[in-house]
Structure 1
């Protein structure tokens, strides 16, 4: 394709994008596709000669949109959102055009220094202390893996990266059952092992019990294990649970343990000062992660990790062979040394566009609306016949269960969820809470309006009455 042809097609793609967003409310939120539907429409072998872009785009329109669940749909109330916004879209187009590999300062001076400044902007926005520095990862899973590897190496006095973790003391990591599955995966990859991720008992508020944590650490030390770190959560994925970080930090500081706070979703809410009570004590943590791509409107992927002592993570992950040296510069920051991958995208640009376009106050207004509308939905659903709220609103997430008279609650709730999602007007997901099947409802899509939440309540009432 010639650049002149690219110019024409780029304009056509922008027109398609605008039309797509304008028509989202008319589309079913969850894809109606069945397994294999897309695969069967794709040729078994690649073409030997080039094809015309008109034919390629025609096939895109025919195959792809109907085979996608629409995460930017304003009635997407499932999972946590992966939002985007027009400013973020524009920034990503520019990043794609420049097509830089931002692994080093010398390969991307503006990207590196903009990342430094955008992390600083977000630190201020979240009310975190000046001594924290940070880096942008692709997702919270990568940030958590980096933190767990640092916990391991710190506990082993960095012997693991030289001689291997085998034969050293056995590190143990502590977390509550409300933490995300990425914690489990991180201990697998780090070679610590699932058996050494100890899930601490929670209290009636679904927070990790500090007394149980302290007792487990003491017992493990006496048994010969090597306590290495604690993962605390703010806004757990299942029901939004929050650990008491201040109490956890008291224990960690006494025991000399590294603490990583997983606030991947709810961290965005901390731009609203009134929400910061939910992570009191976080300024004492060694590592904090939150995802601007979940609730703030930065296009996926964009996850910020704040670090109290970044040199520990750089010591764990940093590697600078001769061919990656910047000659004549010893003190520059190369963020690839702070992360697992060497290759890095220019993720800071979309934050720059986003924050300047909406301002912090504009972003706060959206989050406050989402929190208020989730509370409204909780109250209205609680009043419907046969419905029970199983976990109250935490930020903008709550869960409920449908137990009509004479029917098993798990079976009825599952049938209701499938009927709602097959209907297509809204999209919800499920979790297990207290051993029961429950339905999650979270408000967070960037363009959601109160009328979309009202529609969701009406759909739930209508379908439960029908079935």
Structure 2
């Protein structure tokens, strides 16, 4: 493919992407295919001769789109958002064109330096303690990882090596293997599945401690677990606290957990994968009180901040612990431009890394802080609107409402709510997933797509009510919701006014 063909192909794909994005409401959010659908649609071997880009692009619609779950659909309410925006897509295109592998400053000076600056921009937006920033005088700093899962794993490996070094400095006779065999880490039973996985692949016991009825890990629970393990001859070393749990978007109390971690010499890692973006809005920063106790902090701009996957922002108070865990210097990796700027290969598991800071830069400049705040506040207002609709129907109960996530259920036996969700999923027009709250089966309804509007929320609720009518019968006294758009506008205006007032 020459430059002229690339221009034609590229322009055609840009048109395709724009059309797909703007008309995504016309597609069912879930595909109608069965496992194994794709193989019969393709030849059994790769083509011997080149094919035209026109043929390739035509096959995107024939082969790929029938098997796509449309995460950017306004009817996608499962999991949490996976962000997307035109500026971010363009940033990824440019990153792909430059094609650098920025494992060191020399391998990609702009790749390294833009990331350093962008992580400071983000850290300042969230009002993180200064010692987390690259521009601080200390050894802390920020780095872009691929996911919150990677950030958790990296923090766990860093503290694993730190504990070996500390214990052997005081007790040289104790072997590294003996120390590692006794390490134990802690998190809540509401933490993401990646936390348990980090323990498995990092060969560290991961205790998933019982949370309270609000989904929070309590300090007394942590203290008791640490005491019990120390008495058993184990070595507690790591705590993962969650700001915005996967199930219900619950928030662990850092002001309670932090002092325990300091007293017990436990590395505190904060996972704010979804909720961290909300801290860009001053009125939600109270949810991160106690962040100063953390040794590392992570959130995903690729979830709620309009930046496409993958872009996971991680900060550490002392990057030397990462160097100690991951530094391997071969002669071909060294260079003579030594400075205070990081060689990010020492901050991660893989050697190679893409120019991910470009899309972050493009988004922050294209939307500005105010544009991102507006997006987050709008989605939170949509969630409040959905919660209000649930509460108007006596057959349902709204269980939780936190930021852009609502959990709800049909009153009565769990089987009713499970049957309702099964029916909705089978219809493929709306996608939500379940979790458990206070022992009950509930449906998670997250505001995910950038394009979601109040009309989409009303449409989703009407569909839910229609299936509930068939399951449990219509409401005894039907409440008509008049002028929902006006009601939502009132909620939104009030919310924004309160936001401005709280931020003063």
**Normalising by structure 1, what TM-score?**
0.94
Is 1:123 matched up with 2:120?
no
CA 331–325 in structure 1, closer or farther in 2 if over 3 Å, else same: farther
Deviation string 1:309-332 (CA, Å, 9 cap, x unpaired) is 111112111222111001242644
Specify the SS of the correspondent of 1:213. helix
Match of 2:162 among 143, 154, 162: 154
Q: Return the offset for 1:373.
A: 1.5
Segments of structure 2 that go 5 or more residues without pairing to the other structure are: 133-140, 169-173, 472-504
Q: Return the offset for 1:158.
A: 6.9
Quote the residue 2:260 is aligned against: 251
Specify the SS of the correspondent of 1:157. helix
Is 1:51 matched up with 2:54?
no
Match of 2:295 among 264, 274, 286: 286
The answer to whether the 8 A contact 1:268-1:295 is kept is yes
Quote the residue 1:466 is aligned against: 470
Quote the residue 2:94 is aligned against: 94
Deviation string 1:412-434 (CA, Å, 9 cap, x unpaired) is 22221122233333221112333
The answer to whether the 8 A contact 1:104-1:335 is kept is yes
CA distance in 1, matches of 2:310, 2:359: 10
Deviation string 1:25-46 (CA, Å, 9 cap, x unpaired) is 1111122221111222122222
CA 328–270 in structure 1, closer or farther in 2 if over 3 Å, else same: closer
Is 1:222 matched up with 2:234?
no
CA distance in 1, matches of 2:11, 2:333: 38
Is 1:419 matched up with 2:423?
yes
The answer to whether the 8 A contact 1:145-1:186 is kept is yes
Match of 1:168 among 179, 202, 205: 179
Quote the residue 2:69 is aligned against: 69
The answer to whether the 8 A contact 2:113-2:341 is kept is no
The answer to whether the 8 A contact 1:370-1:396 is kept is yes
Deviation string 1:45-86 (CA, Å, 9 cap, x unpaired) is 222222222222222221111210111112221111111101
Match of 1:211 among 204, 213, 220: 220
**Residues matched between the structures, number:** 458
Q: Return the offset for 1:171.
A: 0.5
Quote the residue 1:384 is aligned against: 393
Runs (4 or more) in structure 1 with deviation over 6 Å come to: none
Deviation string 1:301-358 (CA, Å, 9 cap, x unpaired) is 0000011111111211122211100124264411111011111011101111101111
Deviation string 1:81-104 (CA, Å, 9 cap, x unpaired) is 111101111111111111111111
* Aligned counterparts, 1:274-423, within 5 A: 274-329=283-338, 331-390=340-399, 392-403=400-411, 409-423=413-427
Q: Return the offset for 1:463.
A: 2.2
**Normalising by structure 2, what TM-score?**
0.87
CA distance in 2, matches of 1:459, 1:291: 31
The answer to whether the 8 A contact 1:373-1:443 is kept is yes
Specify the SS of the correspondent of 1:136. strand
CA distance in 2, matches of 1:360, 1:330: 31
Q: Return the offset for 1:120.
A: 0.3
Quote the residue 1:188 is aligned against: 200
Segments of structure 1 that go 5 or more residues without pairing to the other structure are: none
Quote the residue 2:270 is aligned against: 261
The answer to whether the 8 A contact 2:31-2:69 is kept is yes
Q: Return the offset for 1:231.
A: 0.5
Quote the residue 1:15 is aligned against: 15
CA distance in 1, matches of 2:402, 2:384: 9
Is 1:197 matched up with 2:206?
yes
CA 164–105 in structure 1, closer or farther in 2 if over 3 Å, else same: farther
CA distance in 1, matches of 2:42, 2:167: 50
CA 256–21 in structure 1, closer or farther in 2 if over 3 Å, else same: same
Is 1:446 matched up with 2:454?
no
The answer to whether the 8 A contact 2:106-2:337 is kept is no
Specify the SS of the correspondent of 1:356. helix
Deviation string 1:428-448 (CA, Å, 9 cap, x unpaired) is 111233333221011132222
CA 223–283 in structure 1, closer or farther in 2 if over 3 Å, else same: same
CA distance in 2, matches of 1:422, 1:366: 31
The answer to whether the 8 A contact 1:430-1:438 is kept is yes
CA 328–297 in structure 1, closer or farther in 2 if over 3 Å, else same: closer
